[in-house]
């Protein structure tokens, strides 16, 4: 069993205490996470602050080259990262699992490396010249979740580095090992202190968000934790990018073909076993095709193998941790008790690990917890409706506003209704298909700011206006 180390200032740093990291498929220990102390955190921030003095002045083309080099390192170590990710997170190597995630991390890194933020000329006439320059902020703190730990780490780290900042990242204590290894390989091509990793329990994350030496927080996780991050950042007026929870609505119009949309609906809901912020979490289906959609989804779900992530035949794996496993079970049990019709699944699988089957629950409505709350797991409520305007209004009553989708044979009609959904991203006849050139972020209680593309890169800069 390997003991992992903190990594800051370009070197591995051992700690006095460690915590076990377990495989959610088996319960076996796969490694030990170092438990950082407040003194370790201070040293990591100091290393990042020192590195910022030089990294912020490195020419743009050299920072681009460094990000390209990071991408090559990810590619060269992809299978190792995928294997480690599967061990600690549980997602299968195949399907939309660990190899898919490493491929996504690589794609985002390569795209971000090529972004530019040129000087904007706001005025240039006989009255004067006004230029808008974008400058790096300073030390950026990243706190990442357990669902897509490697890819989200790249979403946070690479644009920060590309813009000239330095980083201290704290991964979830449930999935820290792949992030530690990612930072180690990044440091093979970056100057010491540009990217640093601290691990430990949630108290270290709280210390990061209140630390005097951190200039910006970027956080992906639950809305409740995001509120705490925001509150603790107030004293130092840190800049914030918060990508928080979602309860995404998908609306199926009466002209949709159930057989044609079943696969897209399924993966919109169950990518990463439903453990995705922008997964489809509430499915509204018009009464005229309600039963055919239920039938098509159930038939598709029955064909998806669920098993240990290291089994090459598995397409979906376990829920990542006991807390989330118990929440999914509780929400499904509550839906059943309130009249929900279980189409498939509905009870834990009889095997070791946090295995809960793909579960479809029909005949539920608002007021049932599975509809009102974010389940973040392999359970989908299917809600019947008759009036499209009414269902749009009902979908918008939820305080979350991350993503949404509309499904129809008429793309123009779908777009018309999609634009009425209160969410940061909306899809037509698909759901959750994010891409590195399209800004992504939430409205309402799903976050502040955006990620990806030039708009996301701007989040890691401050503006300086030069007037002459």
Strand, coil or helix: 466 = strand
Give the burial class of 90: count Cβ atoms within 10 A of its Cβ; 0-12 exposed, 13-18 middle, 19 or more buried: buried
Residues ≥6 apart with Cβ < 8 Å to 407: 250, 251, 252, 253, 256, 261, 264, 265, 414, 428, 429
- Do 78 and 99 form a contact (C-beta atoms < 8 A)? yes
Residues ≥6 apart with Cβ < 8 Å to 222: 244, 245
Strand, coil or helix: 380 = strand
Find the Cα–Cα–Cα–Cα dihedral 385, 389, 395, 399, rounded to 10°: -150
- Do 156 and 171 form a contact (C-beta atoms < 8 A)? no
Residues ≥6 apart with Cβ < 8 Å to 77: 181, 185
What are the CA-CA distances from residue 11 to residues 1, 79, 194, 416 (Å)?
A: 21, 24, 12, 54
d(CA 437, CA 8): 31
d(CA 316, CA 173): 22
Beta bridge partners, 140, equal: 167, 216
Per-residue model confidence as pLDDT tens for the chain (468 residues): 799 999 999 999 999 999 999 999 999 999 999 999 999 999 999 999 999 999 999 999 999 999 999 999 999 999 999 999 999 999 999 999 999 999 999 999 999 999 999 999 999 999 999 999 999 999 999 999 999 999 999 999 999 999 999 999 999 999 999 999 999 999 999 999 999 999 998 889 999 999 999 999 999 999 999 999 999 999 999 999 999 999 999 999 999 999 999 999 999 999 999 999 999 999 999 999 999 999 999 999 999 999 999 999 999 999 999 999 999 999 999 999 999 999 999 999 999 999 999 999 999 999 999 999 999 999 999 999 999 999 999 999 999 999 999 999 999 999 999 999 999 999 999 999 999 999 999 999 999 999 999 999 999 999 999 999
Give the number of other Cβ atoms within 10 Å of residue 166's Cβ: 30
Catalytic residues: 243, 277
Residues ≥6 apart with Cβ < 8 Å to 41: 168, 198, 204, 207, 208, 211
Residues ≥6 apart with Cβ < 8 Å to 78: 99, 102, 103, 106
Q: What is the pTM of this model?
A: 0.97
d(CA 416, CA 213): 47
d(CA 42, CA 459): 25
d(CA 434, CA 298): 25
Give the burial class of 390: count Cβ atoms within 10 A of its Cβ; 0-12 exposed, 13-18 middle, 19 or more buried: exposed
Residue count (the chain): 468
Of 135, 227, 276, 71, give the one whose Cα is nearest residue 217. Answer: 227
- Do 48 and 8 form a contact (C-beta atoms < 8 A)? yes
User: Where in 9-70 does DSSP place strands (E)?
Assistant: 11-13, 18-22, 29-34
């Amino acid at each position: 069993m390997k003991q992992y180390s903190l990594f800051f200032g370009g070197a591995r740093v051992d700690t006095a205490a460690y915590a076990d990291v377990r495989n959610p498929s088996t319960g076996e220990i796969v490694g030990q996470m170092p438990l950082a102390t407040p003194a370790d955190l201070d040293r990591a921030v100091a290393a990042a602050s020192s590195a910022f003095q030089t990294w912020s002045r490195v020419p743009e083309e050299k920072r681009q080259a460094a990000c390209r080099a990071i991408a090559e390192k990810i590619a060269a170590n992809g299978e190792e990262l995928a294997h480690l990710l599967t061990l600690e997170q549980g997602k299968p190597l195949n399907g939309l699992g660990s190899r898919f995630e490493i491929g996504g991390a690589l794609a985002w890194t390569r795209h971000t490396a090529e972004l530019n933020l040129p000087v904007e000329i706001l005025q240039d006439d006989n009255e004067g010249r006004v230029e808008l320059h974008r400058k790096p902020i300073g030390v950026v703190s990243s706190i990442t979740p357990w669902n897509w730990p490697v890819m989200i780490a790249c979403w946070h780290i690479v644009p920060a580095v590309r813009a000239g900042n330095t980083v201290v990242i704290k991964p979830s204590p449930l999935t820290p090992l792949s992030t530690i290894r990612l930072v180690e390989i990044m440091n093979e091509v970056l100057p010491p202190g540009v990217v640093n990793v601290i691990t430990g329990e949630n108290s270290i994350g709280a210390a990061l968000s209140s630390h005097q030496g951190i200039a910006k927080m970027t956080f992906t996780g639950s809305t409740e934790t995001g509120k705490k991050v925001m509150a603790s950042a107030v004293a130092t007026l840190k800049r914030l990018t918060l990508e928080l929870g979602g309860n995404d609505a998908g609306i199926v119009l009466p002209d949709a073909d159930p057989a044609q949309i079943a696969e897209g609906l399924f993966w919109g809901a169950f990518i990463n076993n439903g453990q995705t912020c922008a997964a489809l979490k509430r499915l509204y289906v018009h009464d005229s095709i309600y039963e055919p959609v239920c039938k098509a989804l159930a038939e598709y779900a029955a064909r998806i193998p669920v098993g240990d992530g290291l089994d090459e035949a598995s397409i979906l794996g376990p829920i990542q941790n006991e807390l989330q496993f118990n929440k999914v079970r509780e929400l499904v049990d509550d839906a059943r008790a309130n009249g929900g019709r279980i189409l498939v699944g509905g009870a834990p699988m009889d095997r070791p690990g946090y295995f809960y089957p793909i579960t479809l629950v029909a005949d539920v409505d608002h007021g049932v917890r599975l509809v009102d709350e974010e389940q973040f797991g392999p359970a989908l409520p299917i809600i019947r409706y008759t009036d499209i305007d009414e269902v749009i209004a009902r979908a918008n009553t939820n305080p979350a506003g991350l993503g949404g989708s509309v499904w129809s044979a008429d793309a123009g009609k779908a777009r018309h209704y999609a634009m009425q959904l209160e969410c940061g991203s909306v899809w037509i006849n698909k759901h959750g298909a994010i891409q590195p050139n399209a800004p992504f972020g939430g409205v309402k209680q799903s976050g502040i700011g955006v990620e990806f593309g030039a708009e996301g890169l701007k989040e890691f800069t401050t503006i300086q206006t030069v007037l002459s």
